[in-house]
Amino acid sequence: MFSAAWEFTKRHKGKIITGGVLVGSAIAYATSRPTLKNLETAHAHEELPNQARRHYIFDSTHRSCDQSITDLIPSITSQIEGRFEVDSIREKLNAPDLPIDQKIQLWDLLKRNVFCRIIAVAYCFSILTLTLKAQISILAADTCLQFEKRKTQSDWKSYLPESLSSLIPNTPQPAQNSSMEVGNRRIFLQCVQYFTLRGVPQLMESIHEAVSEELKDWQLKDVKSKYDVRLIFDKIGTRVGTHGLLTKLVAPIENNGMDMNSSVVKLLQKLTSNLESDKSINTLNSLLDFYFSASLKMVDSEEQAIVKYIPSLSNAYPILTSTSFDSPLFNSLYSSDVHQFAVYVFNS
């Protein structure tokens, strides 16, 4: 299922910033077992109510998830900058005695690449956010279920007289739950690796085609309003599409001899069903708006020629890719829409 991702990795080894290492450390950090161990030791003699425990596990895992998303951003931005070059085009435009026809061609290319960068950042960052939030919610829910099962399995002994219960040996807990949890983390790790190494390039090509098609009639001297630019963002998004997009980019389940009833397929189906839900699509559209709105804030005039939009939108890129406080990524991670989506997956 993920063979294409590994082939892509082999062909581009060394080009993409330590993708597997970054993803691996991030997922391992976000889904590691310290939360589980803390609960076991801190509440060995005083059991937390189920609801309080669920809140504790959900909140602690998602705090780790936010840092993981931030750590993965450089591996995506490096690909976007490599695919949609801007700086070298600017240098060529500054060359003296550049023929007018070449200058127009370079401005057109710069126009497309600037728009492609904005759309790519918005989609890549938003899909990464939704994917990791969904994965962490699923794993956190599984952790809660393990605690509830342990409590159910041990409660019956409390009804026995002490003289009898002491005669019953403690049955060792099977390692099945632990190994299954590790296996689930590895599967989700592979999904994120697939997205960063295969899905992102595939998404960038779709964005390039959509931008080229929508901007083909936009001439450099055409006067457009900021509202027109916002509409073109939405039209490009419509061409990129949403139905089936996240499944295709994150976990394409191919029925090529796989056991569709296996635990791996069922786990991936749970992930993709949440990513393709109406709740997910609505949240994705909300996240895209964080980036589109932030890019247009860099434009001072309400209406101007297309050629004048290009420098402002180009200057918006460092802001869109920032992970600092009040950046689009920061605001999206702490938005109510993302929190509600995570809760939705957690309770699914």
Q: Where are the domains of the chain?
A: 3-155+177-346
Q: Is the pLDDT of residue 4 over 80?
A: no
Query: Mean pLDDT of all residues in the chain?
Result: 81
Q: Is the pLDDT of residue 152 over 70?
A: no
Instruction: Please say whether the beta carbons of 73 and 323 come within 8 A.
Output: yes
The helix (run of H) or strand (run of E) holding residue 223 is strand 223-225
pLDDT digit string, tens, across residues 199-246 = 999 999 999 999 999 999 999 999 999 999 999 999 999 999 888 899
pTM: 0.81
pLDDT digit string, tens, across residues 26-75 = 555 454 544 444 544 444 434 556 666 676 677 667 677 888 899 999 99
Mean pLDDT throughout 313-339? Answer: 94
pLDDT at 337: 96
Q: Is the pLDDT of residue 270 over 60?
A: yes
pLDDT digit string, tens, across residues 166-192 = 544 555 554 455 566 677 888 999 999
Among 22-26, 64-68, 284-288, 313-317, whose mean pLDDT is lowest? 22-26
* H-type alpha helices, the chain: 3-11, 19-30, 34-42, 50-83, 87-93, 100-155, 162-165, 176-194, 200-214, 226-240, 245-250, 263-275, 278-296, 306-315, 317-320, 328-333, 336-346
CA atoms within 13 A on the CB side of 161: 2
Q: Bridge partners of 303?
A: 225
